[in-house]
Amino acid sequence: MGSVFGNLLKISIFGESHGDGIGVVIDGFPSGIAFDETFILSEMKRRAPSSHVGSTPRKEPDLPRILSGVKDRYTTGAPICAVIENTNTRSEDYAPFSETPRPGHADFTASIRYNGYQDARGGGHFSGRLTAPLTFAGALCKLALKEKGVEICAHILQIGALYDNTFPLAPTQSLFSSLREKSLPVINDAVGADMTAYLEEIRANKDSVGGMIECIATGLPAGVGSPMFDTVESRIASILYAIPAVRGVSFGAGFDVASMLGSVANDAFYCENNSVKTVTNHHGGVLGGITTGMPILLRCAFKPTPSIAKEQNTVNLKTGENTILEIQGRHDVCIACRAVPVVESAVAISLLDQMLEAFGYENFR
């Protein structure tokens, strides 16, 4: 109960931020998928701390060691286990938090849920570091999806009051490539420069800020997903809410639908080259929980990093008294920045799992 996700494709993530190691077991992955190590490491690097102002200055090399499931550079069909050793941990930074929990963090709830036995160092199993194995698993799933023509890409859509452009109706490969290479992945570079300046300011103020990510998945066939509870949205939202700091998930026009008229929100169908498409994509690629063949489009809101250097009010769980907390350490100014490949990974894992299910039924057609 907890860190296992999926139905046919199951991933089991383990590890605590300052323990010996973190990693993932990927069960039910198809055999015969080429294990492109270069691609996987480049994906891991996109998530790792960088020199960008939004990121923590911690160094996490995050080199996964593959223990099983890959032979001669192809997946074998057996569970794939990847382990990332923990290095460069400074546990003393985190010592007091099991006693004086950080506002906005899981310190308090972990101590209730695990009765004080949790590994509180570095956030333990609640650490954003656990998104490294998620990204590894996502990279592998992207390789399998690519064989079926599916591509997944995300970018920063919002930080504070600054907004990037949204994805066009039919994004190009070159847009995807350029986004993957940017240290701050935005479509509009002028906005990116503004965001960077804004983040510098936040850091100077010893504060943090939230952000929003937009993600697209292209190339999916129509017909994936099932009503009522295994809708594409249910399955994707379920795994996105595993990413620490996510507070909102929406599809297509998202929360804007609350003020839209049906005559505007409805996406008109039309035929092109024997294929049914929609003129607009307010539905975000899913109707009735099932893919339409249009790109899946979703948004995901991240709260500000809870760990900030400013003084904050909290309680001492041992004495039951109110107290003041001042947090040391090296934290991200805006976690949304590094979460871009993590969101893509979560979507990839979920979609591959659902495609495997859908394929099972195709055989009966």
150-189: which residues touch a copy of itself (CB under 8 A)? 158-161
Which of 47, 125, 129, 142 touches a copy of itself by CB under 8 A?
Answer: 125
Site for a copy of itself in 197-236 (CB under 8 A): 202, 207-212, 222-223, 225-231, 233-235
Compare residues 175 and 315 and give the one whose CB is closer to a copy of itself. 315
Nearest to 154 by CA among 133, 179, 130, 124: 179
Instruction: Please give the residues from 73 up to 112 whose contact with a copy of itself meets the rule CB under 8 A.
Output: 74-81, 83, 101-106, 108-110, 112
| Size of site (CB under 8 A) for a copy of itself | 162
Contact with a copy of itself (CB under 8 A) among 305, 339, 340, 348: 305
CB of 34 or CB of 41, closer to a copy of itself = 34
Q: Does 190 bind a copy of itself (CB under 8 A)?
A: no
DSSP string, 175-192: HHHHHHH-SS--S-HHHH
- Of 59, 90, 310, 330, which one interacts with a copy of itself (CB under 8 A)? 310
Residues from 318 through 347 that contact a copy of itself (CB under 8 A): 320-322, 336
Map the footprint of a copy of itself across residues 238-277, applying CB under 8 A.
238-239, 241-242, 244, 246-255, 257-263, 265-271, 274, 276
* Binding segment (CB under 8 A) for a copy of itself, from list 53-61, 173-181, 186-194, 296-304: 296-304
Would you tell me the crossing angle of helices 335-362 and 131-147 to the nearest 10 degrees? 40
Q: Give the burial class of 175: count Cβ atoms within 10 A of its Cβ; 0-12 exposed, 13-18 middle, 19 or more buried.
A: middle
Q: What CA dihedral angle connects 156, 160, 161 and 163, to 10 degrees?
A: 0
Residues 6+ apart with CB under 8 A from 235: 225, 350, 353, 354
In terms of CB distance, is 96 or 101 closer to a copy of itself?
101
Between residues 178 and 280, which has the closer beta carbon with respect to a copy of itself? Answer: 280
User: How big is the chain, counted in residues?
Assistant: 365
State how far the alpha carbon of 124 is from the alpha carbons of 18, 129, 137, 221, 309, in Å.
7, 9, 20, 39, 20
Phi, psi (degrees; rounded to nearest 5) at 345:
-65, -45
- Cα gap 264→94, rounded to integer Å: 51
